[in-house]
Chains A and B, each alone.
Chain A
Amino acid sequence: MQNHILSIILFTPLVGAILLLFVPKENKDAIRWIANIFALAGFLISLPLVPLFWEKVKSGDPAPFKFIEGTANNWIPSIGAGYVLGIDGISFLLIMLTTLLGWVSILSSWTAIENRVKEYYVWFLILQTGMLGVFMALDFFLFFVFWEAMLVPMYLLIGIWGGPRKLYAAIKFFLYTLAGSVLMLLGILFLYFHHHSVTQVYTFSLEAFYKTAPQIYTDYGPYAATLLFLSFFFAFAIKVPMFPFHTWLPDAHVEAPTAGSVILAGVLLKMGTYGFIRFSLPFFPDVLHNGSTRFWVMVLSVIAIIYGALVSLMQKDMKKLVAYSSVSHLGFCTLGIFALSPMGLSGSVLQQINHGISTGALFLIVGILYERRHTREISEYGGISNVMPIYATITMIMFLSSMGLPLLNGFVGEFTILGGTFLQKDIAGHPGWFWTAWAVPGVVLAAAYLLWLYQRVFFGTVTNPKNEKLHDLTPREVATFVPLLIMAFWIGLYPKPFFEILKQPVNNLVATVNRETPKAETTASVTGGTTAPSECAGCGLSAMPSPTAVKPATASATHPATHTAPTATTPAKGKN
């Protein structure tokens, strides 16, 4: 399949940025229009991907990665780096999220950004391309390039258009994340070298690494493998951010402009979790199954959940509160990932999307108040729902989705994650319910801090005279929320398509990481139900006689790399 849809999606924002360079910087409205048009175009162009991808999902295309573009090592043959793009269900969802949020946040900054408009949009569009690249790259080197290149525009966005402590926040963000990723670079180089020493082939092709990386545990022993795992772990954990590495997040969020925060929370943080899913798990299954590494990762996730919630409970600054709530939510994501169960992983990916939608919306919400009053102090507000009813309603819905209320997106993710963790019979030497029990209080606390915030900001009467004149949402502002609301309800009411999309990658991943994975017969539930088949076709989670009952699923459940796809779709099948 040699169409270039991925490249087109990837570079549309960049084209916009380059175009903007030729617009005189005085002509602000033209700049805004062009930027918005290209952001919207970026989103619209990514839409055709949906039916195309869905058709592949339906047809049960066995190839682990779809729309593969470019062949291995076609970029820098001398070191074996290639410009290879390709997506599976996970990256597909994240890409759609990125294009959507990119558009929303650019739309949201129409009035928010007044000075140096041109640069702002240029950097923003470049950032967009960088993020998309991270999710599309199938070549480890390409991935790393995007991963690092994307830091620069974000740094400038925070540093130029940020708040009072912008310099501190920007540099902290840049250094902190870079520190993690350079260690990852060493890790990558080690894998690269190891792959060469095994196969005599220099390549950064991801699929090639999928083959050789797991051998490191046997070739170099657990200690080296664990160190290697950590070199990746730090990079991703800082990005996520997991508990002890999270302090850059509040600063970055508080200082960043609204749109920056939206992207930061909505997409950038997902890169960490994406990294875990795409690299850490399939590369180091043995590290996870032996030793205490996984235990500590789980502990950190749980701490993040509770701790983030507790801290945000006491915040006085709305944005800080939301920022810490992200720490808590991402804790759920990592929990689900390292539960290494199909449910946990699906839920985690879904929760990443949800977090992007909900928290993105929360930052927009805070931004709207900030734009009107130029303060984010909670104590400055109160009784806002009297003056801004529409705003209050939308906020309520988004809060509910963020605290995981059923029929909204948040619940689907959290519930699946918790279930996946609970129903995994052994996680790092402890039963799944042990971990779930620790994580569940986070759900309660989420309600506590969000509702308390809502009460303090929206309920009561308008006490602060400054708030009496606030005007309600403009159509443009409403427009920024509409897609998010739609997504929130869609995922909440009918998440099945998302699960369908995640089915193949998640199963492959679990099959790779776990030695034995439960396989329920795909047609099981027909016999499982007790009522008439017509009413019960494929419903209910019905119990199966034994795990061995399933042959059909296993075919697709093999490892991406060990899976030999027919055509040039798998670049790294070299005669080693």
Chain B
Amino acid sequence: MGPTDLILARPIVLLTLFALAILLFDFWLPKEKKWFNALLAFIGVCFSAVGVHQIQAFIGNTPGIVGMLGTMVVDRFAIYFFYLFLAGTAIAILMSVRYLETENENHGEYYALMLLSVAGMMCMASGFDIVLIFIGLELMAISTYVLVGFLRRDRRSNEAALKYLLLGAFSSGIFAYGLSLLYGLTGTTNLAGIHQQLLHRAFDPQYRPVAIIALVTTLTGLLFKIAAIPFHQWAPDAYEGAPTSITGFMSVAVKAAGWAMLLRILLGSPFQFCGLVSMRDVWVPLLVFVSIATMTGANFAALTQTNTKRLLAYSSIAHVGYMLLGMIALGTATSHDGFDDGFKGILIYLLVYTFMNLGAFAVITSLRHRNIAGDDLDDLNGLYSRAPVEAVLMLVFMLSLAGIPPLAGFWGKYFIFLSLIETKHYVLAALGVLYSVFGLYYYLKIANAMFMRQPEKGEEKLPVSLAMRVALGLTGLATVYIGIMPNRFIEMVNWALGIVQQSNVANLMH
């Protein structure tokens, strides 16, 4: 444990400490003071962010550094994801405050678990050793199981938690099995080492079957975490049953973590190929199948949903399908353009998705009050007349999810499809855009309900807490701002991926 390791570990450690602190303080907090937990958690997130920033300063211009006996690599890629997780969590915390009061489940554990799961995510994003990745995964997963079931008195919540738990554990079992085979195949748990070994072993007919089984089982675990068809079925149930704030949290942070892990294991990092990248020829066809299945199934299923949360669950599955297209472009890229833009696409997608999807869930959360559950599509009817600001924001989020420029959501799709064009997957690209039109239909259903239908229950205004206002403001602002002025964010992603392509554009502007 050198000083480097301390710096690298700092964000995670901070999060853990704050989680424990919250558990501790929670005892003394009277019921009406519980918001202090949220505050503490928020501060914790901020501290951790500062820690991340210190790492960023520390690595300077280098792509990143390896530490913790080589089990952990904190490169720009990881740092990008750290920021993503923290942003998502911060907003989720803001969303939760009043919601938990309404649900009368205001316990410190909630925030503690949130922070812990973020710690897990960080391990997944920066893990360079399958052991660490597995630990991080489990840490995140187990905390999330509990969070999903946090509304103890709500049967839907219990059930969602139970299902999520059973399936999650099952999938991580399969995942672990795959990892064990990988270890057996290569004799190391380090992704770089695995890559080295696989380079020849994966193509050696003697080992190939094992390699393929290992890959397939691992892939199952990965795809389960990002909820891609046919490993998606937990998502709608869990999303619907979970507390809305947690649904939002899961749909962005957990998913982002899943993606980080997936990229780590399948590609290693933008700076250094590790993991299973040498088996591209195996996993690309699978991903083609999965992505098409995901887009098709999710879009169709979302079409007739009547529960907003469930609808958004399916929509988020559909988005996974689009991102997988980027993965395919990555896997098949022969030129640098395709690879970069695919990678960029996925990262930007996760970024914008964090804001617009959280925003959407924030609106739904804000609908929750005494008499209305708020997650039924009819609860949105005539929302405009009750809460114009929320309605307009929701419209913005929906259009952004549908990928209408100039809103953030467009940018994810933009790079994905560009990369597909560059790698000559015209059919997949056409399929993707057509499905995104298709998706507009169910997003418009929400818009219709809000703007064009009359409210059943009176015209009473919605009370919206300050924290929620901040959350809505942040997400809405981000969605619009990234949409109109995406440049610095694209640059950010370029930085995260170490892409330098401004030069030739630069000489355009004399």
A complexed with B: yes
Interface residue ranges, A against B (CB under 8 Å): 71-80, 119, 144-145, 148-149, 151-152, 155-156, 159-160, 166-167, 170-171, 174-175, 178-179, 182-183, 185-186, 189-190, 192-193, 196, 200-203, 205, 571-572, 574-575
Cβ–Cβ contact A200 & B437, under 8 A: no
Smallest beta-carbon distance B1→chain A, Å: 39
Name which residue of chain A comes closest to B433, CB basis.
Answer: A182
User: How far apart are the CA atoms of A151 and B437 in the complex, in Å?
Assistant: 13
A74-B509, A167-B452 are known contacts. Are A144 and B437 too (CB-CB below 8 A)? no
User: How far apart are the CA atoms of A170 and B453 in the complex, in Å?
Assistant: 13
User: How far apart are the CA atoms of A46 and B430 in the complex, in Å?
Assistant: 40
Smallest beta-carbon distance B343→chain A, Å: 14
A175-B437, A178-B437, A179-B434 are known contacts. Are A193 and B337 too (CB-CB below 8 A)? yes
Whether B406 is near chain A, meaning CB under 8 Å from some CB there, is yes
Q: Which B residues touch A76, using CB under 8 A? A: 485-487, 490
Smallest beta-carbon distance A7→chain B, Å: 15
Cβ–Cβ contact A186 & B491, under 8 A: no
Q: Which A residues touch B406, using CB under 8 A? A: 145, 149
Q: Which of A178, A203, A571 has the most CB of B within 10 A?
A: A178
Whether B132 is near chain A, meaning CB under 8 Å from some CB there, is no
8 intermolecular pairs with C-beta atoms under 8 Å apart: A73-B505, A78-B487, A78-B505, A144-B405, A145-B406, A182-B436, A183-B430, A186-B417
Please name 4 further chain A to chain B contacts, defined as beta carbons within 8 Å, in addition to the given A185-B417, A189-B421, sorted by A numbering: A73-B509, A175-B441, A183-B433, A189-B414
Partner of B404, one of A80, A152, A189: A152
Cβ–Cβ contact A202 & B501, under 8 A: yes
Cβ–Cβ contact B430 & A77, under 8 A: no
Taken residue by residue from 278 to 304, chain B's Cβ proximity to chain A (1 for < 8 Å, 0 otherwise) reads as: 000000000000000000000000000
Q: Which A residues touch B114, using CB under 8 A? A: none
Name which residue of chain B comes closest to A144, CB basis.
Answer: B405
Q: Which of B384, B437, B485 has the most CB of A within 10 A?
A: B437
Cβ–Cβ contact B504 & A171, under 8 A: no
Cβ–Cβ contact A185 & B433, under 8 A: yes
A145-B405, A193-B421, A574-B507 are known contacts. Are A78 and B491 too (CB-CB below 8 A)? yes
Name which residue of chain B comes closest to A78, CB basis.
Answer: B490
Cβ–Cβ contact B404 & A151, under 8 A: yes
Smallest beta-carbon distance A181→chain B, Å: 9
Smallest beta-carbon distance B505→chain A, Å: 5
User: How far apart are the CA atoms of A77 and B508 in the complex, in Å?
Assistant: 10
Name which residue of chain B comes closest to A575, CB basis.
Answer: B507
Q: Which B residues touch A151, using CB under 8 A? A: 404
Cβ–Cβ contact B504 & A200, under 8 A: yes
Per the 8 Å Cβ criterion, residues 473-510 of B in contact with A are 485-487, 490-491, 494, 501-502, 504-510
Smallest beta-carbon distance A384→chain B, Å: 33
Smallest beta-carbon distance B433→chain A, Å: 4
Whether B451 is near chain A, meaning CB under 8 Å from some CB there, is yes
Smallest beta-carbon distance A115→chain B, Å: 10
User: How far apart are the CA atoms of A51 and B196 in the complex, in Å?
Assistant: 72
Interface residue ranges, B against A (CB under 8 Å): 337, 384, 399, 404-406, 414, 417-418, 421-422, 426, 429-430, 433-434, 436-437, 440-441, 444, 448, 451-452, 485-487, 490-491, 494, 501-502, 504-510
Q: Which B residues touch A77, using CB under 8 A? A: 487, 502, 505-506, 509
Q: Which A residues touch B399, using CB under 8 A? A: 152
The 10 closest A-B pairs by CB, nearest first: A182-B433, A574-B508, A78-B490, A145-B405, A145-B406, A76-B487, A179-B437, A189-B421, A159-B452, A189-B418
Cβ–Cβ contact B418 & A193, under 8 A: yes
Cβ–Cβ contact A159 & B448, under 8 A: yes
Smallest beta-carbon distance A239→chain B, Å: 15
User: How far apart are the CA atoms of A77 and B507 in the complex, in Å?
Assistant: 11
User: How far apart are the CA atoms of A203 and B504 in the complex, in Å?
Assistant: 10
A76-B490, A149-B406 are known contacts. Are A186 and B429 too (CB-CB below 8 A)? yes
Name which residue of chain B comes closest to A231, CB basis.
Answer: B430
* B interface SS class: helix
Name which residue of chain B comes closest to A80, CB basis.
Answer: B505
Smallest beta-carbon distance A352→chain B, Å: 25
Smallest beta-carbon distance A420→chain B, Å: 35
Name which residue of chain A comes closest to B508, CB basis.
Answer: A574
Name which residue of chain A comes closest to B487, CB basis.
Answer: A76
User: How far apart are the CA atoms of A189 and B423 in the complex, in Å?
Assistant: 12
Name which residue of chain A comes closest to B441, CB basis.
Answer: A175
Name which residue of chain A comes closest to B438, CB basis.
Answer: A175
Smallest beta-carbon distance B299→chain A, Å: 13
Partner of B451, one of A73, A148, A156, A189: A156
Smallest beta-carbon distance A387→chain B, Å: 35
Partner of A78, one of B384, B405, B494: B494
Name which residue of chain B comes closest to A76, CB basis.
Answer: B487
Q: Which B residues touch A71, using CB under 8 A? A: 509
User: How far apart are the CA atoms of A170 and B418 in the complex, in Å?
Assistant: 30
Cβ–Cβ contact B505 & A201, under 8 A: yes
Cβ–Cβ contact B451 & A160, under 8 A: yes
User: How far apart are the CA atoms of A76 and B505 in the complex, in Å?
Assistant: 10
User: How far apart are the CA atoms of A224 and B452 in the complex, in Å?
Assistant: 43
Q: Which of B434, B487, B509 has the most CB of A within 10 A?
A: B509
Cβ–Cβ contact A202 & B504, under 8 A: yes
Smallest beta-carbon distance A484→chain B, Å: 31
Cβ–Cβ contact B417 & A203, under 8 A: no
Smallest beta-carbon distance B29→chain A, Å: 41
Q: Which A residues touch B437, using CB under 8 A? A: 175, 178-179, 182
User: How far apart are the CA atoms of A186 and B502 in the complex, in Å?
Assistant: 23
User: How far apart are the CA atoms of A158 and B337 in the complex, in Å?
Assistant: 42
Q: Which of A144, A160, A182 has the most CB of B within 10 A?
A: A182
Q: Which A residues touch B426, using CB under 8 A? A: 186
Cβ–Cβ contact B430 & A171, under 8 A: no
User: How far apart are the CA atoms of A75 and B508 in the complex, in Å?
Assistant: 13
User: How far apart are the CA atoms of A171 and B418 in the complex, in Å?
Assistant: 27
Cβ–Cβ contact B405 & A148, under 8 A: yes
User: How far apart are the CA atoms of A159 and B449 in the complex, in Å?
Assistant: 11
Q: Which B residues touch A572, using CB under 8 A? A: 508
Cβ–Cβ contact A78 & B502, under 8 A: yes
Q: Which B residues touch A185, using CB under 8 A? A: 417, 433
Partner of A160, one of B421, B422, B452: B452
